[in-house]
Amino acid sequence: MSSAFMEIASKIKHKQIADLIKREKRLDGRTLTEYRDIEILVGPITKAEGSAQVSLGKTKVLVGVKIDIGEPFPDTPEDGVLTVNSEFLPLASPSFETGPPDENSIELARVVDRGLRESKVLDTKKLCILPGKKVFVIFVDIYILDHDGNLFDASALASLVAVITAKIPNYEIEDGEVKILEGLQDLPVQDYPIATTFAKIDNSLIVDPTLEEESAMEGRLTITTKQNGNICAMQKGLEGTFTVEEIQKAVITAQEKGEELRAKALGVRNG
């Protein structure tokens, strides 16, 4: 296909999407604030201390949590460490390339990280083993397997489920050394942050955009809410702009959607 032809095709598709949205409809029949089918698979990677695979429609994200014992940061000597990393695997999309994380991958990881960190999902004090010397280090690795849009929400949800279902070993301190004991315990989970991402297309906001919808998206807004409904992280992306009213409306929807998705996450955890 010639590039000129592809551009025309893409403009037609864009117009079609936008026209539908004006009439509060979408290509796949959803309402503007409806998520695609959500599937959550808990613990697919048994070698990881925690893991989860989340599908939003055809988007598929796998998150593994590895836990090690390491040193705390010098400015927070009594806190465990949480780090989030993301890889846009080249097998997930023809547009992803091999190589170190690009700015999109970094932004995704940092937005997920902010949601987990700012909601205080874990009580990091309880992850301290020997103050200033040994703490649990939690690595959250986001692996994008199939990219059909809305990587932010899928990654945030999979990360949450992987973290809240992860286990650390029982241990005791003997003469200043850590001794690993039999048995496992849960991480000190405190909250359940949920990210909801809005795509702005021709002055309308929709949630959970597909890749096709993202190609028509001018602006992106991710709002992460805590279990109490409060907001703990936001991120506007892309070159489009938002009005104050749009943002306020989005906050309300994010609170609703947060409750809906949080129930699913807690469901799989407890089930």
Residues at the site binding other proteins, with contacts judged by CB under 8 A: 44-48, 51, 58, 60, 62, 64-69, 74-75, 85, 87, 89-94, 98, 100, 103-104, 106-107, 109-110, 114, 117-119, 139, 141, 143, 145-148, 169, 180, 221, 226, 229-244, 247-248, 251-252, 255
CA dihedral 11, 12, 13, 14 (to 10 degrees): 50
- Taking the complex as a whole, the smallest distance from the CB of residue 266 to other proteins amounts, in Å, to 20
**Using the 8-state DSSP alphabet, how is residue 126 labeled?**
G
- Taking the complex as a whole, the smallest distance from the CB of residue 122 to other proteins amounts, in Å, to 15
Segment (H or E) for 270: helix 244-270
Identify which of residues 107 and 123 has a Cβ nearer to other proteins in the complex. Answer: 107
- Taking the complex as a whole, the smallest distance from the CB of residue 98 to other proteins amounts, in Å, to 6
Q: How far is CA 78 from the centre of its chain?
A: 27
* Strand pairing category for 134-146 and 81-88: parallel
- Taking the complex as a whole, the smallest distance from the CB of residue 80 to other proteins amounts, in Å, to 13
Q: How many CB atoms lie within 10 A of CB 213?
A: 24
Dist. CA 89–CA 21, nearest whole Å: 31
SS3 category, 32? coil
Identify which of residues 7 and 24 has a Cβ nearer to other proteins in the complex. Answer: 7
Identify which of residues 25 and 253 has a Cβ nearer to other proteins in the complex. Answer: 253
Identify which of residues 25 and 41 has a Cβ nearer to other proteins in the complex. Answer: 41
